[in-house]
């Protein structure tokens, strides 16, 4: 037996969500974003599952791309931050990685490189997020510098939205207009749209490539019931009750004694903590599902354990009862709200110690 802290990952749900993203974006092609170990789900397993349907994959950096190539993944892989040092260009060329270029130092490095095969560049425009990319007034110049060098095979235009998850914001439309206007009639494919923009169909006809991430894992960044319903949660995060007791009225539970019983209370200890990726900011009242019944967290989350309410099982021996934290029955976004964060951080935060179980 092992410590019962498990993330059950339903690969078929990820495929279903990917195909759904593709159907929303059609005729554009969809790059499955599997950076950060596929948002905690396991990049190699997810890439293998999608290998017969995915048009391409996206990761943050060469370390993540290398892991996929070493595992035999043959699709194009886009490096969303491009390269950091010039020596990465050899590998990028050799392994046919698509490479974001967002800064002049990268252009200079490409010009000075002697790559064997010319590389495919995704030139990034900063249309208002002000994180990466060339400002619109610098963009044509960046494009022209790359267009004429032998080290470059193709150029794709891309930008990233700051506020696509906020349907009341005008920014997505403003960014799109600025982007299309600046690209003008420069040749090349264009790419915009994270999950939020795919889900809200904020895509002009001219788009060839969308880049959904979080939605593939079944969490909608636009938290409406309809959006949530259209996606299948891929990860169920769970553990078991490993200890139980009845405490008297007036007694307290956990670090800093944050929860106090107002009557004799049955409580249980569960083998999960913040070192597994359960959020420490979740407090008393955060929902859990124990043996199929709704219950709640009591007191402070510790590194390896939490305590929960077992009052609904007064006469039962609860040792070994399964406790779900999010997944099939509890939306990860609901727990994120309880912990003052977003679904992304919870999924990405599943730690190495958690046993991953893959199911079709």
Ligand X SMILES: *Cc1c(COP(=O)(O)O)cnc(C)c1O
Mind telling me the catalytic residues?
35, 255
Alpha carbon distance 342, 194 (integer Å): 16
Q: Supply the minimum distance, in Å, between the C-beta of residue 306 and ligand X.
A: 28
63 is written with which tokens? 């370390």
Q: Is 195 in the site for ligand X (CB under 6 A)?
A: yes
Stretch in the footprint of ligand X (CB under 6 A) among 66-74, 206-214, 236-244, 260-268: 206-214
Q: Supply the minimum distance, in Å, between the C-beta of residue 216 and ligand X.
A: 8
Sites for ligand X among residues 79-108 (CB under 6 A)? 80
Q: Quick one: 79 or 242, whose CB is closer to ligand X? A: 79
From the centroid of its chain, how far is CA 131?
18
Total chain residues near ligand X (CB under 6 A): 11
Q: Quick one: 80 or 253, whose CB is closer to ligand X? A: 80
Q: Supply the minimum distance, in Å, between the C-beta of residue 8 and ligand X.
A: 21
Q: Quick one: 166 or 260, whose CB is closer to ligand X? A: 166
Residues in the chain: 360
Stretch in the footprint of ligand X (CB under 6 A) among 180-188, 207-215, 299-307, 317-325: 207-215
Stretch in the footprint of ligand X (CB under 6 A) among 82-90, 110-118, 205-213, 256-264: 205-213
Q: Is 175 in the site for ligand X (CB under 6 A)?
A: no
CB of 28 closer than 8 Å to CB of 248: no
Q: Is 194 in the site for ligand X (CB under 6 A)?
A: yes
Choice from 33, 37, 120, 175 touching ligand X (CB under 6 A): 33
In sequence order, the 6+-apart residues with CB closer than 8 A to the CB of 237 are 6, 7, 272, 277, 278, 324, 325, 326, 327, 332, 350, 354
CA 309, 314, 319, 322 torsion-angle sign = negative
Q: Quick one: 32 or 298, whose CB is closer to ligand X? A: 32
Choice from 82, 128, 218, 221 touching ligand X (CB under 6 A): 221
Q: Supply the minimum distance, in Å, between the C-beta of residue 247 and ligand X.
A: 42
Alpha carbon distance 8, 208 (integer Å): 34
Q: Supply the minimum distance, in Å, between the C-beta of residue 286 and ligand X.
A: 24
CB of 211 closer than 8 Å to CB of 58: yes
CA 231, 236, 237, 240 torsion-angle sign = positive
Choice from 13, 62, 92, 214 touching ligand X (CB under 6 A): 214
26 is written with which tokens? 């059609």
From the centroid of its chain, how far is CA 72?
22
Residue 148 buriedness (CB in 10 A; 0-12 / 13-18 / 19+):
exposed
Chain position whose Cβ is nearest to ligand X: 213
Q: Quick one: 14 or 214, whose CB is closer to ligand X? A: 214
Sites for ligand X among residues 231-290 (CB under 6 A)? none
Q: Is 120 in the site for ligand X (CB under 6 A)?
A: no
Q: Is 211 in the site for ligand X (CB under 6 A)?
A: yes
Draw the binding track, 143-162, toward ligand X (x: CB under 6 A; -: no contact).
-----------------x--
Choice from 42, 213, 283, 331 touching ligand X (CB under 6 A): 213
Q: DSSP labels for 241-269?
A: EEEEEEE-TT-EETGGG-EE-SS-EEEEE
Q: How far is CA 231 from CA 19, 255, 307, in A?
A: 11, 37, 31
Q: Which helix (H) or strand (E) holds 228?
A: helix 225-229
Residues making contact with ligand X (CB under 6 A): 33, 35, 80, 160, 194-195, 211-214, 221
């Amino acid at each position: 037996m092992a410590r019962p802290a498990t993330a059950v990952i339903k690969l078929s749900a990820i495929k279903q969500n990917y195909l759904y993203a593709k159907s929303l974006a059609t005729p554009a092609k969809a790059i499955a974003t599997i950076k950060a170990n596929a948002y905690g789900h396991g990049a190699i397993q997810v890439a293998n599952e999608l290998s017969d349907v995915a048009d391409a994959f996206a990761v943050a950096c060469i370390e993540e791309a290398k892991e996929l190539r070493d595992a035999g993944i043959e699709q194009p892989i886009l490096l969303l931050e491009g390269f950091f040092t010039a020596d990465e260009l050899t590998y990028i060329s050799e392994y046919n990685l698509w490479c974001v270029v967002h800064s002049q130092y990268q252009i200079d490095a490409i010009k000075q490189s002697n790559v064997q095969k010319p590389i495919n560049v995704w030139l990034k425009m900063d249309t208002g997020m002000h994180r990466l990319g060339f400002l619109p007034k610098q963009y044509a110049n960046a494009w022209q510098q790359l267009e004429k060098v032998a080290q470059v095979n193709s150029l794709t235009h891309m930008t990233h939205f700051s506020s696509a998850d906020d349907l009341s914001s005008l920014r997505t439309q403003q960014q799109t207009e600025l982007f299309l206007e600046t690209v003008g009639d420069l040749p090349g494919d264009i790419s915009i749209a994270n999950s939020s923009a795919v889900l809200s169909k904020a895509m002009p006809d001219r788009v060839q490539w969308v880049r959904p991430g979080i939605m593939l894992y079944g969490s909608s960044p636009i938290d409406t019931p309809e959006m949530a319903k259209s996606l299948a949660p891929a990860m169920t995060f769970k553990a078991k009750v490993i200890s139980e007791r009845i405490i008297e009225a007036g007694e307290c539970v956990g670090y800093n004694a944050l929860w106090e019983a107002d009557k004799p209370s049955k409580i249980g200890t569960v083998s999960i903590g913040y070192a597994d990726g359960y959020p420490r900011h979740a407090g008393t009242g955060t929902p859990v599902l124990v043996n199929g019944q709704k219950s709640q967290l009591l007191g402070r989350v510790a590194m390896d354990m939490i305590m929960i309410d077992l009052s609904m099982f007064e006469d039962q021996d609860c040792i070994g009862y399964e406790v779900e934290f999010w997944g099939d029955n509890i939306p990860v976004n609901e727990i994120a709200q309880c912990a003052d964060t977003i679904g992304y951080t919870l999924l990405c935060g599943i730690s190495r110690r958690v046993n991953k179980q893959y199911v079709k």
